[in-house]
Chain A
Amino acid sequence: MIDALLAPFAPLVEFGFMRRALVASLALSIAAPPLGVFLMMRGMSLIGDAMSHAILPGIALGFLFAGFSLPMMSLGGILSGLVVAGLAGSVSQMTGHREDAAMASFFLISLAAGVLIVSLGGNSVDLTHVLFGSILAVDTTALLLIASISSLTLLGLALMFRALVVECLDPLFLRGQGVRGGLVHGLFLALVVLNLTAGFQTLGTLMAVGLMMLPATAARFWSSRLEGLILIAILVAACSSVAGLLLSYHLDLPSGPCIILVSGGIYLLSALFGRRHSLWRRLRRRASPLAARYGEATLSRRTKDPGP
């Protein structure tokens, strides 16, 4: 009985490539979602998307000069991500335009540059690999890289947590205390870039952001507390990783899209049935607005006993 229940999970243990894929995606699931929660809470949900394009030219350059070498491609990705984030930040600061406009412009430039560079040195298979990743090809080097980036992210987040929270709520307060808000913001964006680079090997540059944002947006329907949001987001990401990998194994589908689609499914379910602000909640409130406010028990007592 138990064997039969566990049987679908067997491939995760049985095969080396599945074990490595599992560890890699779980490591990503711990580090990326907290960043996603902060991005979402600061109204920067699409910045992650923009940054994921920004790392592409660097990865492509690494690929052009060193071939299919993960450390070189990752280094290139991190560098170009940081450069684009810095450029977008300084352009918006100099011109006074909103940062997202500068970001949008730069990510389009990077996307075009990246695709051009990849096509200079490779073929469409290489391009597909860079854009969409292949988690089943994760080797020990990649695993080490992902694990160290995840650890670094957790450490970095722990160190800057309070500053980040204060900055999200009231940047002026932090500035008044002599902390440069730009510094906190920049460090945070650097962590985002690091994580997207870690995710590119497994999920590809375009989908790496999925494991960051989807768990965070799904968590929004379950908790109103920061700690709750972060924990739920990590949980959602981990579950989607395991489920996505198994789905891809049993149904013979590409693993990256499977993982992201599972977390996408969890997001949709949360939007429909979540505890907070979900469609179901809203319908129920509309059906009996007083019950939602006073609690069902009070209301039924009131209707039964209209009082003197």
Chain B
Amino acid sequence: MVLEGVSGEFPVGSVTALVGANGAGKSTLLAGIMGVLAPIAGRVHCAVPKERRAWLPQQLALDLSFPMSVEELVMTGCWPSHGALRGYSRAHYRRGREIMERLGISELAHRPLGELSGGQRQRALIGRTLMQQAELLVLDEPFANVDSASVEVLTEVFREMAAQGATLVVVLHDMQQLAQLADRVLVLAEGRGEWFAPEEIVPAHDIHQRCLQTAQRLLSGARP
């Protein structure tokens, strides 16, 4: 997907919702932010060091049949400090348990990931990014296949992370979730991006309709 004419910044401690129709280039932009795809023209500057960036792809991209328990997954978030070899100390395990407690998955600690529901998996994956002390969190549709209770817990955790200075970029489709979570909205359409405040976007019920309108406005050169 070609994106041109996207500019702006994601301020520290903010939650930005990334909105756009399928194929609008949301995932491409995320890959650009994470430094996996280099821009052909222009520049992507990311102030957060590599090991403090977390990228949570859509769940389908993960092989969750792999025999790993929730606790083991959360503990892999220690990678920046521990690498491939150092053993986890008792203090780290304690932190892992606190994180699982916060996410409400303590009783699932030793269950394999393959047996969990979509919401429980998502909580476990967020647990890993908390363990990682991520300062930049890039989430691709974190609430797809996630039950409403989990959405509520995760929204709260995301807001807390932002309040503690983390920067979040979240791909969202649901307007209600967007209203609860986001500070700012970046709408992608026709290869271009426009920034909005959540209040400007939320009243529109059909987001795809809205994207289309935005695209038409962008093409006609008028600023909304």
The residues of A with any CB-CB pair to B shorter than 8 Å are 41-43, 159-163, 165-166, 168-170, 172-179, 223-226, 229
Contact digits for B97-123, partner A, Cβ 8 Å, 1 yes 0 no = 000000000000000111000000000
Supposing A176-B53, A177-B50 touch, asked if A168 and B76 sit within 8 A by C-beta, the answer is: no
Residues A229 and B67 in contact, CB atoms below 8 Å apart: yes
Residues B76 and A172 in contact, CB atoms below 8 Å apart: no
Residues A168 and B79 in contact, CB atoms below 8 Å apart: no
Interface size of B as a range? 20 to 34
Residues A225 and B112 in contact, CB atoms below 8 Å apart: yes
Q: Identify the interface centre among A42, A161, A162, A166: most chain B CB within 10 Å of its CB.
A: A162
Smallest Cβ distance from A268 to chain B, in angstroms?
A: 22
B51 at the A/B interface (Cβ < 8 Å)? Answer: yes
Known: A162-B85, A226-B68. 12 other contacts (CB 8 A): A41-B65, A163-B84, A165-B66, A168-B66, A169-B63, A169-B64, A169-B113, A170-B62, A172-B61, A176-B50, A176-B54, A178-B50
B55 at the A/B interface (Cβ < 8 Å)? Answer: yes
A159 / chain B contacts, CB cutoff of 8 Å: 84-85
Residues B112 and A176 in contact, CB atoms below 8 Å apart: no
Q: Lowest 10 A-B CB distances belong to which pairs? A: A163-B84, A226-B67, A169-B66, A162-B84, A178-B50, A177-B79, A166-B76, A168-B66, A224-B112, A176-B55
Residues A162 and B68 in contact, CB atoms below 8 Å apart: no
Supposing A170-B62, A177-B79 touch, asked if A224 and B51 sit within 8 A by C-beta, the answer is: no
Residues B67 and A177 in contact, CB atoms below 8 Å apart: no
> What separation, in Å, do the CA atoms of A160 and B83 have in the docked complex?
10
B51 / chain A contacts, CB cutoff of 8 Å: 176-178
Residues A41 and B67 in contact, CB atoms below 8 Å apart: yes
Residue of A nearest to B112 (CB): A224
> What separation, in Å, do the CA atoms of A150 and B79 have in the docked complex?
28
Residues B55 and A225 in contact, CB atoms below 8 Å apart: no
> What separation, in Å, do the CA atoms of A169 and B112 have in the docked complex?
12
Residues A165 and B54 in contact, CB atoms below 8 Å apart: no
Residues A169 and B55 in contact, CB atoms below 8 Å apart: no
B188 at the A/B interface (Cβ < 8 Å)? Answer: no
> What separation, in Å, do the CA atoms of A225 and B55 have in the docked complex?
26
Residues B67 and A224 in contact, CB atoms below 8 Å apart: yes
Residues A166 and B63 in contact, CB atoms below 8 Å apart: no
Q: Identify the interface centre among A42, A159, A169: most chain B CB within 10 Å of its CB.
A: A169
A43 / chain B contacts, CB cutoff of 8 Å: 63
Residues A162 and B66 in contact, CB atoms below 8 Å apart: no
Supposing A165-B68, A172-B57, A178-B51 touch, asked if A160 and B84 sit within 8 A by C-beta, the answer is: yes
Smallest Cβ distance from B164 to chain A, in angstroms?
A: 20
Smallest Cβ distance from B72 to chain A, in angstroms?
A: 8
| Contact pick for B34, options A42, A163, A176, A223, CB 8 Å | A176
Residues A172 and B67 in contact, CB atoms below 8 Å apart: no
Contact digits for B27-65, partner A, Cβ 8 Å, 1 yes 0 no = 000000010100000000000001101110100011111
B65 / chain A contacts, CB cutoff of 8 Å: 41
| Contact pick for B79, options A161, A166, A172, A226, CB 8 Å | A166
B73 at the A/B interface (Cβ < 8 Å)? Answer: yes
Residues A225 and B80 in contact, CB atoms below 8 Å apart: no
Smallest Cβ distance from A156 to chain B, in angstroms?
A: 12
16 example contacts (A-B, Cβ-Cβ < 8 A) are as follows A159-B84, A159-B85, A165-B66, A168-B66, A169-B62, A169-B63, A169-B66, A169-B68, A169-B73, A173-B128, A175-B36, A176-B34, A176-B53, A177-B50, A177-B51, A179-B84
Supposing A162-B85, A224-B112 touch, asked if A173 and B76 sit within 8 A by C-beta, the answer is: yes
A174 / chain B contacts, CB cutoff of 8 Å: 79
> What separation, in Å, do the CA atoms of A169 and B63 have in the docked complex?
5
> What separation, in Å, do the CA atoms of A152 and B54 have in the docked complex?
34
Residue of A nearest to B114 (CB): A224
> What separation, in Å, do the CA atoms of A174 and B112 have in the docked complex?
20
Residues A172 and B73 in contact, CB atoms below 8 Å apart: no
Smallest Cβ distance from B21 to chain A, in angstroms?
A: 24
A179 / chain B contacts, CB cutoff of 8 Å: 84
| Contact pick for A42, options B63, B76, B113, CB 8 Å | B63
> What separation, in Å, do the CA atoms of A43 and B36 have in the docked complex?
25
> What separation, in Å, do the CA atoms of A174 and B54 have in the docked complex?
10
Residues B84 and A172 in contact, CB atoms below 8 Å apart: no
> What separation, in Å, do the CA atoms of A43 and B65 have in the docked complex?
10
Smallest Cβ distance from A58 to chain B, in angstroms?
A: 30
Residues A172 and B68 in contact, CB atoms below 8 Å apart: no
> What separation, in Å, do the CA atoms of A159 and B85 have in the docked complex?
7
Smallest Cβ distance from B122 to chain A, in angstroms?
A: 13
Residue of B nearest to A229 (CB): B67
A166 / chain B contacts, CB cutoff of 8 Å: 76, 79
Q: Identify the interface centre among A161, A170, A226, A229: most chain B CB within 10 Å of its CB.
A: A170
